[in-house]
Amino acid sequence: MIYIANAFSISMLLEENSKVTVSQVAKETVQKILIATLPSDHVISGIGHAPTARIVSDMLEYPVVTNRINIQIDEKDILLVAQYCGTRLPEGATELPEGAEIKFFKITVSY
């Protein structure tokens, strides 16, 4: 399964003694992963903040819905994190504020 979220938490791990690999990746790499995963029912959004989901969706040119869920990552899964960096994103925002950015990370685990 491919998950896309706006944060990573230790609670996403199935076991406490886990090896987590985090790699910063380009937006284009995320797009390739998402396109290669079609049909889209194999991609689950875990972005619970509507403006963030909207902005990430626009950036990736891929439908990322608002979906406030708990994610747990298995060894077969990939977690794509769209990490917002900047001042608090206002409700209703449709674009990033000046000076803000979204960095993308690919996270995998082994147990």
Question: Looking at the chain, how many residues does it have?
Answer: 111
pLDDT tens readout for residues 55-67:
999 999 999 999 9
* Mean pLDDT to the nearest integer, 46-74: 95
Nearest CA among 79, 100, 106 for reference residue 25: 106
d(CA 58, CA 60) in angstroms, rounded, equals 6
Q: Which residue has the higher pLDDT, 61 or 16?
A: 61
pLDDT of residue 97: 85
90: pLDDT strictly greater than 90: no
Domains and CATH numbers, the chain: 2-103 (3.40.50.11170)
14: which 2 tokens? 């199935």
DSSP string of 34-64? HHHT-SGGGEEE----HHHHHHHHHHHTS--
In whole angstroms, give the CA distance from residue 95 to residue 100: 10
